[in-house]
Amino acid sequence: MNQVTAVLNEVRASSPLVHCITNTVVPEITANVLLAVGAAPAMIDLPEEAEIFAGVASALLINLGNGSSEQHRAMPLAAASAVAHDRPWVLDPVAVGALPVRTRLARELLEQTPAAVRGNPSEILGLAGESAGGRGVDSTDAVEDALATARGLASRVGTVVAVSGPVDLIVSADRTTRVTGGSDLMPLVIGTGCSLGATVAACLGAALPAGLGRHDAVVAAHALFAAAGTVAARQASAPGSFRTAWIDALYRLTPDEVVGLVTIRDA
């Protein structure tokens, strides 16, 4: 718990600059979420600029949902630049497994050793070649179905794998954490998962220079999102009002309130 609060405090204190190469459906909510949690967003898609910017940003997000050909050219360049400049980067393998172009690209990007991989169960299984993917961006597999696969990816790639669902699963080579909280309304708001990937990047970008661990940074991002979902669900009963209440909660919640609203369990 102390590590989660330390990460969230560091995000507010350092305001990490998060470079997002993300899909065309979600830039606005992703930017708003990053601002709400205390980070600074930047959407840089041009290949020539993305390569440069990934080396100066605090962290990089690569989200494969609905990407353009230009984005697909930028992604490997940005990932390589982030690694070369010792910047953490996050892979969000949206709809991987079901679609061949993004699936091939995602597996190539894994060779650039992301600090974290975040997806739903079907995406994680698809990334590892153990599933044909879900129903579009929706998972058709349960979170626990992806546990063994997540452990294998974490060990093979040297990354933290986060599997999102009713209970989020965060897996490193030697540690597994479950985060319980949130609301059933969260999947009904476009961009909650994609902006979670960006927040994972923000937490990594703040945590690592402060000497805090990657696993705890990923747990902190999921705990913050789950806590904000819990608070928003108390105020809203439909997706539109929930979206506003959720972003407000991301902004208002203190780190101590976050850990009091969710269950975090290592197992």
User: How far apart are the C-alpha atoms of 45 and 239, rounded to whole Å?
Assistant: 30
Q: Is 43 within any annotated ligand binding site?
A: yes
**Cα 83–Cα 4–Cα 163 angle in degrees, nearest 5:** 65
**Rg of the chain in Å (alpha carbons):** 16
- Amino acid identity, residue 55? G
Q: What is the DSSP letter of 214?
A: H
Q: Which residue, 98, 171, 188, 180, is CA-closest to 136?
A: 98
Token pair for 83 = 């690694």
Ligand-binding annotation for 191, yes or no, is yes
User: Rounded to an integer, what distance in angstroms lies between the CA atom of residue 68 and that of residue 76?
Assistant: 14
C-beta separation of 54 from 26 below 8 A: no
Token couple for 189: 């708001």
Task: Say how many Å lie between the first and final Cα of the chain, rounded.
Answer: 15
**8 Å CB contact between 61 and 89:** yes
Amino acid at 151: R
The answer on whether 164 is annotated among ligand-binding residues is yes
Say whether 186 counts as a known binding-site residue.
no
Q: Which residues are annotated as a binding site?
A: 43, 118, 164, 191
Mark the binding-site residues for substrate, compressed into ranges: 43, 191
* Binding-site annotation, residues for ATP: 118, 164
